[in-house]
């Protein structure tokens, strides 16, 4: 497992989401403008997330990290995704606000 203190905002944002509810995770990371929000990008995200979930627990990176790296390899990641967010401090707070229905201005 990678060190959570070194997470970027994309990995942290995926870590605070339930990736089995991929549509909700997608809504969160696109609201934060971390990835390309096109319908084609969403289809790629769903494929990446499903493939990583299907692998189950593995020795190595967390599910959030693996999905994040899959998005990066697919060319879907925007520059803001690389902002540091160790221990998901920012992502956790933003997710709480998002789940309450607050409008997040990025």
Q: Where are the domains of the chain?
A: 4-99
The residue among 4, 8, 10, 47 whose CA lies nearest residue 30 is: 10
Cβ neighbours of 31 (radius 10 Å)? 16
What lies within 8 Å, CB to CB, of 85 at 6+ separation is 7, 8, 9, 11, 12, 13, 91
What is the reported pLDDT for 59? 82
Check whether 106 has a pLDDT greater than 80. no
Look up residue 103 and give its DSSP letter: P
What is the reported pLDDT for 56? 85
- Whole-model pTM: value is 0.95
Q: How far apart are CA 77 and CA 81, in angstroms?
A: 6
């Amino acid at each position: 497992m990678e060190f959570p203190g070194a997470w970027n905002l994309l990995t942290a944002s995926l870590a605070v989401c339930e990736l089995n509810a991929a549509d909700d995770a997608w809504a969160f990371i696109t609201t934060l403008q971390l990835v390309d929000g096109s319908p084609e990008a969403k289809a790629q995200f769903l494929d990446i997330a499903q493939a990583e979930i299907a692998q189950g627990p593995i020795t190595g990176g967390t599910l959030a990290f693996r999905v994040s790296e899959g998005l990066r390899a697919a060319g879907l990641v925007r520059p803001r995704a690389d902002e540091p967010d160790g221990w998901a401090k920012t992502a956790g707070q933003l997710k709480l606000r998002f789940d309450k229905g607050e409008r997040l201005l990025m």
